[in-house]
Amino acid sequence: MHAPSGVIPASNAERQSQLRAAGARHVHWFRYAGADPFSGSSLYACRCGVVRPGL
């Protein structure tokens, strides 16, 4: 978490944590999250942070 900056390059562990944050290991559960102000279509968001337009 608090490694000295500029010393340790991005590690595999960091990449794996990013994959986990992207929800690569679960089935997305999309819930209605509001309307897209640009297109006017509905937006659905998973609790992991992934958002996609209306189905």
State the residues that interact with Zn ion by CB under 5 A.
23, 28, 46, 48, 50
Shortest Cβ 42–Zn ion spacing (Å): 17
Q: Whole-angstrom Cα distance, residue 41 to residue 16? A: 33
Shortest Cβ 9–Zn ion spacing (Å): 28
Q: With respect to Zn ion, which residue has the nearer C-beta, 43 or 46? A: 46
Classify the phi-psi angles of 47: left when phi > 0, otherwise alpha if psi is within -120 to 50, otherwise beta.
Answer: alpha
Q: Do 1 and 13 touch, CB atoms closer than 8 A?
A: no
Shortest Cβ 34–Zn ion spacing (Å): 17
